């Protein structure tokens, strides 16, 4: 099983550019999440989804958008990239909201 | 008060010793508690989960939960250099909402 797959692993963006971080899971999990992790910090929830067609904001949603058209895929869109969005982004999925989360390998994003 | 608090460390222990990692949380209604291990540059991976008061053991790892004191801990017996990592405490406060602590860096000296 591939588990949770994120692409790309690394990316450098210029200020004002846009990009989409891809995330796919093959475990048939209903719950999917996007977190960001700044150096020395814990994970902050950006957006989450409890199933196809259902998304909602987490703690730090500003500057991001998501969609969930299928159970498997949960892309994260960055519009008008800013230096404050320099971070490591993790996608995760879980069977239920209160159970173990499985994480992708992360995307290291630098905005210059 | 932060929702999930951990000592950032680093916690340094000699090889073979017991490492004790602590976490406190603010939401008394929290039901699920997790410990994730994160190696530098890697993604978090689950070490232990615990739902009920008391101890839960899995190999060299023991998770301890005290809901009255809003405290959860992770003990690592016979610590190995390969245990050197950041340990994230995570608390589910209901539904989707799992809050992560900032993590404790553990360093096991050979």
pLDDT at B15 (0 to 100): 97
Q: What part of A 60-79 touches B (C-beta under 8 Å)?
A: none
- Strands annotated E in A52-105: 54-57, 64-66, 76-78, 87-94, 102-103
pLDDT at B4 (0 to 100): 93
What number of C-beta contacts closer than 8 Å exist between A and B?
A: 52
Chain A positions touching B98 (Cβ under 8 A) are: 45, 97-98, 101
Residue in A40, A50, A105 closest to B96 by CB:
A50
Pull the structure tokens for residue A93.
């999925």
**pLDDT tens, residue by residue, A32-88:** 999 999 987 889 999 999 999 999 999 899 999 999 999 999 999 999 999 999 999
Calculated CA dihedral for residues B43, B72, B74, A91, nearest 10 degrees: -10
Give burial (CB, 10 Å; 0-12/13-18/19+) of A8.
Answer: exposed
Whether residue A1 has pLDDT greater than 70: no
Q: Is A103 on the interface with B (CB under 8 A)?
A: yes
Contacts of residue A99, defined as CB under 8 A and 6 or more positions apart, other chains included, come to B32
Q: Which residue of A has its CA nearest to B42?
A: A105
Spans of chain B below 70 pLDDT? 1-2
pLDDT at A39 (0 to 100): 84
Whether residue A93 has pLDDT greater than 90: yes
**pLDDT tens, residue by residue, B51-63:** 999 999 999 999 9
pLDDT at B1 (0 to 100): 58
Of the candidates A36, A40, A4, which has an alpha carbon nearest to the alpha carbon of residue A22? A4
Distance, in Å, from the CA atom of B23 to the CA atom of B7, rounded to the nearest integer, reads 8
Q: Is A95 on the interface with B (CB under 8 A)?
A: no
């Amino acid at each position: 099983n591939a588990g949770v797959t994120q692409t790309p692993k690394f990316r450098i963006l210029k200020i004002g550019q846009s990009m989409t971080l891809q995330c796919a899971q093959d475990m048939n999990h209903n719950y999917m999440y996007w977190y960001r992790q700044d150096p020395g910090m814990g994970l902050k929830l950006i957006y989450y989804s409890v199933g196809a067609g259902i998304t909602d904001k987490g703690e730090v949603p500003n500057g991001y958008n998501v969609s969930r058209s299928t159970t498997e895929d949960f892309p994260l869109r960055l519009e008008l990239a800013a230096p404050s969005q320099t971070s490591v982004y993790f996608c995760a999925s879980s069977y239920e909201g209160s159970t173990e989360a499985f994480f992708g390998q992360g995307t290291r994003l630098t905005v210059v | 008060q932060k929702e999930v608090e951990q000592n950032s460390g680093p916690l340094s222990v000699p090889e073979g010793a017991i490492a004790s990692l602590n976490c406190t949380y603010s939401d008394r209604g929290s039901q699920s508690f997790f410990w994730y291990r994160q190696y530098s540059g890697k993604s978090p991976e689950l070490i232990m989960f615990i739902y009920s008061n008391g101890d839960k053991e899995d190999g060299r790892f023991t998770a301890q939960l005290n809901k009255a004191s809003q405290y959860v801990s992770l003990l690592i017996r016979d610590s190995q250099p390969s245990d050197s990592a950041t340990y994230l405490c995570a608390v589910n406060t209901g539904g989707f909402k799992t809050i992560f602590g900032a993590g404790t860096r553990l360093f096991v000296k050979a």
